[in-house]
Structure 1
């Protein structure tokens, strides 16, 4: 009986430190080798640069579209833009213009 109680007391006293070591090893592994860990830093940095370049491209495109929308304001539309859009939609050309077909 005393042998069983010594084994159970050893397991009880070693249980909490074992759980703590296992959890520290688990979180340490993911801190170093996980998808957002220290070893993944160059890849994350490269993805960030790619996303920033895409954001700048989309921001420029948004600014261009906003400018076109502002030029088409019903209160004071830009006559050149209105003419360009109408001619493009109606497929109309002036007599003095040369049309170059693109393949």
Structure 2
């Protein structure tokens, strides 16, 4: 007798809507929306792939600029060392006197060149 209620011939079954089904759909829609948002941010967000490639390009430029500045710093440090008041390089001192003060030794001949 327990199985008789499944064999109801002639009677229509009534489908009852489940009240929790819209909540499940809403949760799924929110989850899919969140996944789409996270995927978009992974591509074009402030720390996404596009920003990462731009950062790599900027890093290469900054490394090149840093190498140039280090070379300039070494050149200046060498000049400072040559201009040490206790042991100055005479050639550099003469060059600086001639270029900055526009002086020449009495027995020197000045030859101008056209640039």
> For structure 1, which segment, 78-87 or 39-48, has the greater mean C-alpha deviation from structure 2 after superposition?
39-48
TM-superposed deviation, 1:47:
1.4
Aligned pairs for 1:30-69 (under 5 A) are: 30-69=41-80
Bigger helix fraction: 1
Spell out structure 1 runs of 4+ moving beyond 4 A.
Answer: 20-28
Which residue does 2:112 correspond to in 1? 99
CA distances 1:28-48 after superposition (whole Å, capped 9, x unpaired): 533321233112333222211
User: What is the alpha-carbon distance in structure 2 between the residues aligned to residue 56 and residue 79 of structure 1?
Assistant: 30
Q: What count of residue pairs does the alignment treat as equivalent?
A: 94
CA RMSD between the two structures: 3.1
Query: Which structure has more RCO (C-alpha within 8 Å, separation ≥ 6)?
Result: 1
**SS of equivalent residue, structure 1 residue 92:** coil
Report the structure number with the largest CA radius of gyration: 2
**Residue in structure 2 matching 1:81, options 89, 92, 111:** 92
1:21–1:77 Cα change, 3 Å: farther
TM-score (norm 2): 0.60
User: What is the alpha-carbon distance in structure 2 between the residues aligned to residue 34 and residue 89 of structure 1?
Assistant: 55
TM-superposed deviation, 1:93:
3.7
